[in-house]
Amino acid sequence: MDIEKKVKETIQKYKLLNKKEKIVVAMSGGKDSTATALLAKEQGVDAIYAFADTGHEHQETYKYVDYLEGALGITIQRVKADFAKDIERKRNVVQTKWRKDGVPEEQIQRALAVLKPTGNPFLDMCIMKGRFPSTKARFCTEELKIHPMNRQIVFPALEKYGQVECWHGVRADESLARAKLPEREMDDTGAEIVRPILHWTVEDVFAMHRKHGIEPNPLYKQGMGRVGCMPCINCRKEELRQIAMRFPEEIERVAEWEVIVGEASKRGGSTLFPPKKNQDIEGMTNAEISSISNIHKQVEWSKTTRGGTQIDLVNVTEEPSLCHSIYGLCE
């Protein structure tokens, strides 16, 4: 199906013309949210465009959001989570409950030394929780995107306009979890969540970019499958290798954060990625586990083959190409 037919089908299915509700389009700087914004812009929807800054994106994504503002002639509001009060409460817990629980004073002092707001939402969230999010505890989306978006954009819009639709650019073929999402659902806020491109393919998404002369986020041509957090906890092995090869400064930033978050952890350590399933961690402390699963160890693993048991010499010696895309954008 060509993009014109796909757009027409989407308009009819979701009744996108002559909307009475106020539309909020959630932007991420990624391909799907951009296609959703293009759909809204194309239909003349009077929308509020908003980008939740997690503090963990690559600089190219921030530049891309700026580019979209100019290219589409829209204003994209930036929202950020603020964990200052949460960190203050955590300091009180450390000074009282940790001492009551017999945590060594030296560890308490190390935690207090780092329990201070940095202004970076992702790092502050991890300091406050004393751990990184994981595939089994994905609190990052809720804490860094949903909550600040609701507080700073959705609630004020509901108060002003009464009826609000929040357009989310997610697609069913991205994951099993997303495949189970409904096209529409009422949110606890009182707004309706609408997923207008839920049944679009990735080809449809990039066709929408081409239709409007919009360049995709340049990270898609640098080996990235996703362009949100850098790296995301759902990062693929090859993607992590590409990040380390192309953007080593991002790896060093995460390494610094692992030290800081580890100091704030009652367990004595924390890493962005968990240990591999074949690593025997029974009886090990969190600090010891961190030493074998920190970001530098994960990067070493990303260069391996045969289940991580053998170094892939091709990967180790490879130089980053000018263009590398899993979506065929370099062809």
Q: Where are the alpha helices (DSSP H) in 180-247?
A: 202-211, 237-246
Sorting pLDDT into bands at 50, 70 and 90, what band is 111?
Answer: very high
What pLDDT score was predicted for residue 306?
A: 64
Q: Is 70 exceeded by the pLDDT of residue 20?
A: yes
- Take residue 196 and report the two structure tokens written for it: 């207008």
Question: Residues 276, 308: contact at Cβ < 8 Å?
Answer: yes
**Crossing angle of the two packed helices 202-211 and 3-14, in degrees rounded to 10:** 100
Q: Please report, for the domain that includes residue 28, its CATH number.
A: 3.40.50.620
Quick check: helix, strand or coil at residue 118? coil
Question: Which two tokens mark 308?
Answer: 């991580």
Whether 250 maps to a domain, the answer reads yes
> Does the pLDDT of residue 89 top 60, yes or no?
yes
Residues 145 and 67 in one domain: yes
Tell whether 145 and 210 lie within a shared domain: yes
CB distance 50 to 77 below 8 Å: yes
Same domain, 215 and 161: yes
Residue 316 has pLDDT above 60, yes or no: no
DSSP 8-state class, residue 268: S
Indicate if 67 and 164 belong to the same structural domain. yes
27 and 45 in a single domain? The answer is yes
Residue 327: the pLDDT is 93
Q: Quick check: 103 pLDDT over 80?
A: yes
77 occurs within a structural domain: yes
- d(Cα 204, Cα 225) in Å, to the nearest integer? 16
Domain annotation covers residue 276: yes
CA dihedral (200, 205, 206, 211) positive or negative: positive
226 domain-assigned: no
Has residue 69 been placed in a domain? yes
| pTM for the whole structure | 0.92
Residue 106: C-alpha distances to residues 14, 89, 94 (Å): 59, 20, 12
Same-domain check for residues 45 and 162: yes
User: Could you read off the pLDDT of 24-73 as tens digits, one per residue?
Assistant: 999 999 999 999 999 999 998 889 999 999 999 999 999 999 999 999 99
Tokens of 305: 């083959």
What's the whole-number mean pLDDT along residues 227-240? 93
Confidence of residue 284 (pLDDT cuts 50, 70, 90): confident
Mean pLDDT across the stretch 140-169? 97
The arithmetic mean of pLDDT across residues 166-181, rounded, is 94
Residue 312 — very low, low, confident or very high, per pLDDT cuts 50/70/90?
low
pLDDT tier at 180, thresholds 50, 70, 90: very high
Q: Which residues contact residue 32 at a Cβ distance below 8 angstroms, ignoring those fewer than 6 apart?
A: 169, 170, 171, 174, 197, 205
The answer to whether residues 73 and 111 belong to one domain is: no
Note down the domain range covering 250: 237-317
| The residue type at 157 | A
Per-residue pLDDT at 122: 98
CA gap 327, 171 in Å, rounded: 15
Q: Indicate if 112 and 209 belong to the same structural domain.
A: no
Q: What is the pLDDT of residue 119?
A: 97
Flag whether pLDDT at 289 surpasses 90: no
Question: Measured between alpha carbons, how far is 172 from 79 in angstroms, rounded to an integer?
Answer: 26
CA dist 198 and 168 (Å) reads 9
Instruction: Assess if residue 263 is contained within a domain.
Output: yes
Residue 328 gets the label, from left (phi > 0), alpha (psi -120 to 50) or beta, of left
Instruction: State whether 62 and 114 are in the same domain.
Output: no
Q: Quick check: is 104 in a domain?
A: yes
Q: Give Dmax over CA atoms of the chain in angstroms.
A: 66
152, 187, 221 — which closes off a domain?
221
d(CA 163, CA 193): 12
Residue 159 and residue 113 share a domain: no
Number of domains, the chain: 3
Residue 85 has pLDDT above 60, yes or no: yes
Q: Which residue, of 157, 192, 221, is where some domain finishes?
A: 221
Residue 327 domain-assigned? no
- pLDDT at position 184, please? 94
> 60 and 160 in one domain?
yes
157 and 281 fall within a common domain: no
Among 67-76, 91-100, 314-323, whose mean pLDDT is lowest?
314-323
Q: Label residue 295 exposed, middle or buried (CB < 10 Å: 0-12, 13-18, 19+).
A: buried
